[in-house]
Structure 1
């Protein structure tokens, strides 16, 4: 009997260890996915950025100071900032409109589901949709020209330049903002507004002194996420811009695939490393803001 009693803790320890091993086995697919699609490509970029014909070199990184690369980085950052700002403002307004609706209402469910789909609607499909709608021969362009004698391209082919890219990018930035900012708006308690009104506060004072400061970290964090989303986008711009490489992702493509500028693959990896650094800084700031948001609205 004493032996059986003494054996109980040992069996419990064995079962606990087995559960721990089982839990670790459940994470194997995740870590395998991260290793294959994140860790290994990042190592390839980092190693290639400092690799040369004679071994380790800094020439690839020094090439980032070239005027055409700096201009591409500048245009990419400007495009990302503008599309993120427009998407953040319009998406926040749409998210607030959803918060005022019934939590389980059909309107909120439909808009949220649509936002989830449209936030992932990018690449060649999105570029084709805009070309078919407001392209040089798009149905809306032709209809406006034939019906109202209005030529939306009278000032130039703006759709294939930064203004057009900003418009196209905003299409998937707004629904993404709705998805990431809606939980923060849900965290604002109605009692806080009632307390402000009971103390004689106005709507302006509520938004500027109570809700605004609480939502500011979430808004800024969402803005940074939209910036990273736009900065790293490639397929949409590649489908719209057929000539030149105004953005850094297109410059990387040119360096990796060009048949004219041979031996530029490692320069392309150095540019990719620059993108990794920019996105890493942005996501680090986003993580800090998310921690503050969860602390204040938790």
Structure 2
């Protein structure tokens, strides 16, 4: 006969020793993070959301949002989307090719370590330093500009000041989009199992067959997710464009700067908040689609 096992009073299982201490420690770690997110993300977002629906006297209005659908503000959104989409596509294509070249080599080889380390640095190389680097290289008096002009008679600015307009922003943004694509897409390429390629070869399939029916469908969600991430990254970039473009406001972040700090039109703070709300919506949609694609790709890993 088996003796009954004693239980705690009330019929419940005895509490695990130290459980309360672990719970307290978990909250001790999480609370500073929640405070940081609330202070620097949720609170500013709430201010932008509230200000977008207020006029200069604090009353409710939809005029700020209506202004985004016409004139220079609509053109700024269209140019921002165009710039972000183009640089995301260029960065995704060239970054994917570079990632494929790196993944084809030795996993612990020197070229891979150099490319990965360089991508980690260059993906964060933006703002004023990046703008200065391009000005010193291909600016009006940059050393490449002067070299081509003095030795070959080629004037990079014969057709205008392209570096300080959308073509120049496209070139500069692509510079940090490519290394970001390498960081994001290289793990997806590493997830391709050699057994899948061997199975295709054993069945008489070609390299095109493998990429068409196996590698391509597996990598497509990761590629599209990285494309959306690059789009959001370019759409929200500000410092590089602000340092490079001194005249005009061709994209939304520069329009927000003009609305908040401009001295010509005063009382445009709430219009700037409406522009910020529009950016939040666009980035949120892009990152929501990115999360969906990431979950789909995770099923293959």
Calculate the TM-score normalised by the size of structure 1: 0.95
Change in 2 beyond 3 A, CA 1:13/1:73: same
Whole-angstrom distance in 2 between the partners of 1:215 and 1:257:
44
Matched, 1:35 2:38: yes
Whole-angstrom distance in 1 between the partners of 2:288 and 2:92:
19
Q: Give 1:61 deviation, angstroms.
A: 1.2
Whole-angstrom distance in 2 between the partners of 1:41 and 1:192:
48
1:250 alignment partner in structure 2: 254
Q: Which structure's residues are more often helix, by fraction?
A: 1
Give the counterpart of 2:50 among 41, 44, 47: 47
Matched, 1:226 2:230: yes
Matched, 1:284 2:288: yes
1:60 alignment partner in structure 2: 64
**Structure 2 unmatched ranges of 5 or more:** 1-6
Q: Does structure 1 conserve the Cα–Cα contact (< 8 Å) formed by 2:221 and 2:297?
A: yes
Q: What aligned pairs does 1:77-92 form with structure 2 within 5 A after superposition?
A: 77-92=81-96
Q: What aligned pairs does 1:1-298 form with structure 2 within 5 A after superposition?
A: 12-13=15-16, 15-52=18-55, 53-296=57-300, 298=301
Q: Give 1:29 deviation, angstroms.
A: 2.1
The C-alpha deviation readout for 1:174-217, integer Å capped at 9, x for no partner, is: 00000000111011111111111111111111111110011000
Whole-angstrom distance in 2 between the partners of 1:194 and 1:105:
23
Q: Give 1:15 deviation, angstroms.
A: 1.4
Calculate the TM-score normalised by the size of structure 2: 0.94
Whole-angstrom distance in 2 between the partners of 1:50 and 1:295:
42
Whole-angstrom distance in 1 between the partners of 2:218 and 2:175:
27
Q: Give 1:13 deviation, angstroms.
A: 3.6
1:55 match: secondary structure: coil
Whole-angstrom distance in 2 between the partners of 1:241 and 1:255:
16
**Structure 1 unmatched ranges of 5 or more:** none
Q: Give 1:105 deviation, angstroms.
A: 1.5
Whole-angstrom distance in 1 between the partners of 2:32 and 2:109:
37
Whole-angstrom distance in 1 between the partners of 2:85 and 2:116:
24
Q: Give 1:156 deviation, angstroms.
A: 1.3
Write out the 4+ residue segments of structure 1 that deviate beyond 4 Å after TM superposition: 9-12
Instruction: Report the count of equivalent residues.
Output: 293
Q: Give 1:140 deviation, angstroms.
A: 0.6
Whole-angstrom distance in 1 between the partners of 2:208 and 2:54:
57
Q: Give 1:244 deviation, angstroms.
A: 0.5
Q: Give 1:65 deviation, angstroms.
A: 1.7
CA RMSD in angstroms comes to 1.6
Change in 2 beyond 3 A, CA 1:22/1:54: closer
